[in-house]
Amino acid sequence: MDLALVLGKTKLFEGVGHSDLEEIARFTERLIYESEYGQDKIVIAEQDPSGPDLYLILSGEVSLNKKESRSTVSLRKKIVSLEEEVYGEIAWILQQKHLSNVYTSTRVVLLRIDGVRLEQFLLNRPELAAVFWRRIAHTIAKRVTWTFRKYRSTVEWDHVFKF
Tell me the backbone φ, ψ of residue 11, rounded to 5 degrees: -60, -35
Tell me the pTM.
Answer: 0.79
Distance set, CA 42 to CA 62, 67, 122, 149 (Å): 9, 12, 29, 27
Indicate the average pLDDT of the chain: 80
- Other Cβ atoms less than 10 A from the Cβ of 44: the count is 24
Domain 28-151, CATH 3.30.460.80 — does that match?
Answer: no
List pLDDT tens digits, range 72-121.
444 555 544 444 578 888 888 888 888 778 888 888 888 999 999 999 99
pLDDT above 70 coverage of the chain, percent: 79
